């Protein structure tokens, strides 16, 4: 694949896509717009509708309602092979009896486009070069590693120069290290090719590191569609806030008690005094969930923070930092500390919940009300 015959990726638009199976609604009116050349991840728990979306995009499944546009063309009734897309499945299923070269050439031979042998070889060689698998062409799939097999599967999708790649959990069969390597390679490849990629995963860190934008699903409904940082810093609701981040957000259900100029958060017997001057008084009298990510829970006294004393229960060393769990009044806080601080389970420690890291959600609807100490309009 050379620069000039690489198509710039095609844009995608899903309009009001609905799909139900016998007893479950897989997608309930999905609207999604993906710009040409964008890397978009579909992220959500098992059964939330990610694969269904991908299959509808690919044309393997017909929606009950809605339209699909690729490159501005309505392809809702167009067969899969005419949509200009290539799909890489989770179990990448290489043909075991074919060499890597034959596996790569297969889509070109099967496409009925009557490409000459020389043209097929040229394209296979170019893709193999791009993916760094040129030295493996004569081997059989069983003779190469999992990561190399994954690259062959990707190459098989690339040979046809599709405007859109659909990848369904393509790294899930790989061990943790290799997964990180392939993640890096995939990102570099996307930077180079600028094809449109729709990437299904239920791994939030994978989505965060790879994507231009992330679409977060829950039960067939889109919860938020935004850049990774936007989703991390400004989660639309409790579900999104909890789903993003390598550790769960600390969440306390309770209410704001306003006493003159001072406001306190009360959750059971837990009392947390807010720093003065925040937006907290405006939320008195509602059932709320107060959230703070572990990186917002630190040891020691800090300005503009909620302070409390808690008993250290458990400490995990994570190389560059320590993750600690501390309890007070029936509430548990997960926080982070530097790697060298001596921390002994059982001891009492002063905690600070940074004001700029505090989130507030409506407890009933989950809707976000305050992001990082700032109320939403």
What residue ranges bind Mg ion (CB under 5 A)? Answer: 51
Cα 6 to Cα 282: distance, rounded to the nearest angstrom:
55
Q: How far is CA 297 from CA 208, 235, 283, 292, 324, in A?
A: 22, 18, 22, 7, 9
Q: Which stretch binds ligand ATP (CB under 6 A): 2-10, 18-26, 129-137, 332-340?
A: 18-26
Among 26, 124, 136, 238, binds ligand ATP (CB under 6 A): 26
Please say which residue, 18 or 281, places its beta carbon nearer to Mg ion.
18
Among 47, 66, 80, 245, binds ligand ATP (CB under 6 A): 47
Please say which residue, 37 or 170, places its beta carbon nearer to Mg ion.
170
**Cβ count near 173 (within 10 Å):** 15
Among 7, 32, 41, 51, binds ligand ATP (CB under 6 A): 51
29 binds ligand ATP (CB under 6 A): no
| Nearest distance in Å: CB 90, ligand ATP | 8
DSSP state string for 28-93: EEEEEEE-TT-EEEEE-STTSSHHHHHHHHHTSS--SEEEEEETTEE-TTS-GGGSSEEEE-SS--
Cα 247 to Cα 19: distance, rounded to the nearest angstrom:
33
The residues that bridge with 297 in the sheet, in sequence order, are 353
Please say which residue, 45 or 72, places its beta carbon nearer to ligand ATP.
45
37 binds ligand ATP (CB under 6 A): no
| Nearest distance in Å: CB 66, ligand ATP | 15
Please say which residue, 148 or 204, places its beta carbon nearer to Mg ion.
204
328 binds ligand ATP (CB under 6 A): no
202 binds ligand ATP (CB under 6 A): yes
Asked if 31 contacts 68 with a C-beta cutoff of 8 angstroms, the reply is no
Instruction: Single out the residue of 223, 341, 376, 355 nearest to residue 292, CA to CA.
Output: 355
């Amino acid at each position: 694949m050379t620069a000039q015959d690489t198509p710039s990726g095609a844009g995608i638009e899903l309009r009001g896509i609905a799909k139900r199976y016998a007893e479950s609604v897989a997608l309930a009116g999905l609207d999604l717009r993906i710009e040409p050349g964008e890397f978009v991840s579909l992220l959500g728990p098992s059964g939330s509708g990610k694969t269904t979306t991908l299959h509808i995009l690919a044309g393997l499944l017909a929606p009950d309602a809605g339209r699909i546009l690729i490159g501005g063309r309505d392809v809702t009734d167009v067969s899969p092979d005419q949509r200009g897309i290539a799909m890489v499945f989770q179990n990448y299923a290489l043909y075991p009896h074919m060499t890597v070269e034959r596996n790569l050439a297969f889509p070109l031979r099967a496409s009925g486009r009557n490409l000459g042998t020389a043209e097929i070889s040229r394209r296979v060689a170019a893709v193999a070069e791009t993916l760094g698998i040129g030295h493996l062409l004569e081997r059989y799939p069983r003779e190469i590693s999992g990561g190399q097999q994954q690259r062959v599967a990707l190459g098989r999708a690339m040979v046809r120069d599709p405007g859109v790649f659909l990848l369904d959990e393509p790294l899930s069969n790989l061990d943790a290290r290799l997964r990180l390597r392939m993640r890096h390679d995939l990102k570099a490849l996307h930077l180079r090719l600028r094809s449109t990629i729709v990437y299904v995963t239920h791994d939030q860190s994978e989505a965060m590191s790879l994507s231009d934008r992330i679409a977060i699903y829950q039960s067939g409904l889109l919860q938020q569609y935004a850049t990774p940082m936007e989703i991390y810093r400004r989660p639309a609701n409790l579900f999104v806030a909890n789903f993003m981040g390598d550790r769960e957000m600390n969440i306390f259900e309770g209410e704001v008690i306003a006493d003159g100029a001072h406001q306190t958060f009360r959750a059971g017997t837990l009392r947390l005094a807010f720093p003065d001057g925040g937006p907290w008084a405006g939320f008195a009298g509602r059932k709320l969930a107060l959230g703070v990510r572990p990186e917002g829970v630190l040891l020691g006294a800090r300005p503009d923070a909620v302070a409390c004393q808690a008993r250290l229960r458990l400490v995990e060393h994570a190389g560059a930092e320590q993750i600690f769990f501390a309890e007070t009044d029936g509430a548990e806080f997960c926080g982070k500390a530097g790697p060298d601080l001596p921390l002994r389970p059982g001891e009492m420690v002063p905690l600070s919940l940074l004001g700029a890291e505090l989130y507030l959600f409506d407890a009933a609807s989950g809707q976000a009300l305050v992001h990082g100490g700032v109320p939403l309009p």
